[in-house]
A and B are shown apart, each in its own frame.
Chain A
Amino acid sequence: MSSAVYRDDMNESNTPTPGATDRAIPASLDSLYQEVILDHYRRPRNKTALEEPTHTITMNNPLCGDVIELLLRVEGSEIVEAGFLGRGCSISQASASMLTGRVIGKTLGEAAELSAKFTRLLHGDPSPLADADLGDLRALAGVSKFPVRIKCALLGWNCLEELVDDGAGSTSPATPSE
């Protein structure tokens, strides 16, 4: 290969020097990809189809192909079981995994409240960080600095809100939407 023309002159160009020692990871990436997020991505919790869900919905993000199916078993107005299926980036999958962990034991109304707090956090309002109700979801606060990724973090929550909006007690058909 004729590499001679490139070897010397590229160091003077405005492109990065090849072969440099590993560049430090920017703080923005450290705050986005916290260990707890990567852990939920690689070992998702409740990533399973429920045997008898009362509520299911599938939503996708057509721009990136991320898909989340959220399944709930609601008794009275309490979420007694939550699971999810789907595929996508670390942010969408970790967020959905955390969601299922946080909403079990809550009423649909309480789950909707949590969703509202989390949505505020992602849109740059730091006040929900003080709220213990968010638990490990607080690790996703870094997403607010990445506007194009906010929709990833909210995909599972959009599913939840659709289910809550559809009303408690009735079984929703899986509805592709967005």
Chain B
Amino acid sequence: MEADRSHLAPPPSVGGSDPAVATEADWDIEAVRAQFPILSREVHGHPLVYLDSAASAQPPLRVLDRIDRYYREQHANVHRGAHQLSAEATEAYENARATIADHIGADSDEVVFTRGTTESINLVAASWGSRFVGADDIVALTKMEHHSNFVPWQLLAERTGARLRFVDVTPEGTLDLEDFDRALEDRPKIVAFMHVSNSLGTINPVSDLTERARAAGAITVVDGAQAAPHMPIDVQGLGPDFYAFSAHKMCGPTGIGALWGRRELLDDMPPYQGGGEMISEVTTAGSSWAAVPHKFEAGTPNIAGAIGFGEAVRFLSELGFDGLAAHEHDLAAYALARLDEVDGLTLYGPREDRTSVFSFTYGDIHPHDLSTILDQNGIAIRAGHHCNQPLMDRFGLSGTARASFYLYSTRAEVDALIEGLRMAARVFGGLS
């Protein structure tokens, strides 16, 4: 069953439509929500209010249908059989790659399918890192990073003896650009940073940062997991050397993501894993590798996941990132205003240049208690350190509550969150 999408905004024109044209009023929220089956379910007797999309977004029906159709009608292994099904599966798999590559302004050859952002970054750290990073080298990271763009570099440092340099974060939750420049003075080999903060919603000035890093002779690795769901990604304009993102945060399935890398860098890198699919020739004397991107895709890939990923990107593109951005901007402004009204609530992160993810603490009510109380009202938020322990340490926190909104979120859900917080205060007999 295909949802009726005739009422949705047309895709933006090539070259980008005028953002001023898209307004919140263009966003038919009920029509958008109708495409997400899970949003009609109840939790603990209340309508689900899903405010955890930054952890994993919900998939629309057409993504589920596409995966279903692949398994029902097209399933076979890719790149091998000469039979019809294998040809169809291969075509669907490679078409998904082309869709994703096109979406980010890249060539298909430069897009490697991975299990997700985490594996994408591990791939760079393990492959590029093992060939080009030595004991005298420095890898610069930020204290804002998700553990997925943190631990792989710690592992690389352990293996190679390289030194890690951590760029500081300002009290407002933005990157300390002066410290970034100071870090570059030490001529790091790699500079790794996130595009958008998963805890604070901070949008980092990626093109500016990649330009500074390149001028200092570093390659840049950008974690785009929290950016790709919310904005069109143009890797040429952003200017990194590697860009990693995940399908499941942008309406696709779990277990699939992408690594984009500059062709010349990918060509120079050794394989990440060995096995089938990634070889050119295997003999007892040795083996040679397939060309990129297949050099990095050992074994039977997540074919259904990749196809679902491609469908999710098509879904978002057809819905239109301009309308999506206008909706989220409106929702973020509304959420900020409503959260400001709540006595005892402390919000972390910038008030501008941010996405619609909000980390906060509420009086002396621990985030996990908040989460339990909200959950009993059908409201799903996240509580804890959000795989962001260095950032939490930076702010002297052990964790926060985090509500994240997405294209299907509503103002009424913001109101439900506020009402839930008030209930939490009542459960605790007030705040201390």
- List residues of chain A with CB under 8 Å of any chain B CB: 1-6, 9-10, 13-20, 22-23, 25-26, 28-30, 32-33, 35, 38, 42, 63-67, 87-91, 146, 149, 152
Question: Please, how many angstroms separate the alpha-carbon atoms of A15 and B46 in the complex?
Answer: 9
CB-CB nearest in chain A for B392: A65
B366 touches A90 (CB 8 A): yes
Question: Please, how many angstroms separate the alpha-carbon atoms of A3 and B29 in the complex?
Answer: 13
Can you list 17 A-B pairs with a CB-CB distance of less than 8 A?
A2-B25, A4-B25, A5-B25, A9-B30, A10-B410, A13-B30, A13-B33, A14-B40, A14-B47, A18-B419, A23-B419, A29-B372, A29-B376, A38-B429, A65-B398, A88-B368, A89-B369
Picked from A15, A19, A29, A88, the residue with its CB within 8 Å of the CB of B427 is: A29
B221 in the interface (beta carbon within 8 A):
no
A16 touches B366 (CB 8 A): no
CB distance from B9 to the nearest CB of A (A): 14
- Give the interface segment out of B63-71, B233-241, B377-385: B377-385
- Interface residues of B: mostly helix, strand, loop or mixed? helix
CB distance from B348 to the nearest CB of A (A): 15
CB-CB nearest in chain B for A1: B333
Most chain A beta-carbon contacts within 10 A, residue among B49, B333, B399: B399
A2 touches B24 (CB 8 A): yes
- Residue numbers in B under 8 Å from A30 (CB-CB): 427
B82 in the interface (beta carbon within 8 A):
no
Q: Chain B, 262-301, contact with A by CB distance < 8 Å: what is the 0/1 string?
A: 0000000000000000000000000000000000000000
- Residue numbers in B under 8 Å from A20 (CB-CB): 419
B395 in the interface (beta carbon within 8 A):
no
A64 touches B410 (CB 8 A): no
Interface size class on chain B is 35 or more
Q: Chain B, 27-61, contact with A by CB distance < 8 Å: what is the 0/1 string?
A: 10110010000011000101101000000000000
B385 touches A15 (CB 8 A): no
B1 in the interface (beta carbon within 8 A):
no
B47 touches A149 (CB 8 A): no
B373 in the interface (beta carbon within 8 A):
yes
B83 in the interface (beta carbon within 8 A):
no
- Residue numbers in A under 8 Å from B368 (CB-CB): 64, 66, 88-89, 91, 149, 152
- Given known A-B contacts A26-B44, A32-B372, A65-B385, A6 and B411 have beta carbons under 8 A apart: yes
Question: Please, how many angstroms separate the alpha-carbon atoms of A14 and B330 in the complex?
Answer: 20
Picked from A15, A25, A87, A149, the residue with its CB within 8 Å of the CB of B412 is: A15
A-B contact sample (9 more), CB < 8 A, given A23-B419, A90-B365 = A2-B25, A5-B29, A10-B410, A18-B415, A22-B419, A33-B427, A63-B384, A90-B366, A90-B369
B413 touches A15 (CB 8 A): yes
CB-CB nearest in chain A for B422: A22
CB distance from A115 to the nearest CB of B (A): 22
Question: Please, how many angstroms separate the alpha-carbon atoms of A38 and B430 in the complex?
Answer: 11
B432 in the interface (beta carbon within 8 A):
yes
CB-CB nearest in chain B for A35: B429
CB distance from A4 to the nearest CB of B (A): 8
CB-CB nearest in chain B for A42: B432
B128 in the interface (beta carbon within 8 A):
no
B416 in the interface (beta carbon within 8 A):
yes
Q: Chain B, 391-417, contact with A by CB distance < 8 Å: what is the 0/1 string?
A: 010000011000000000011110110
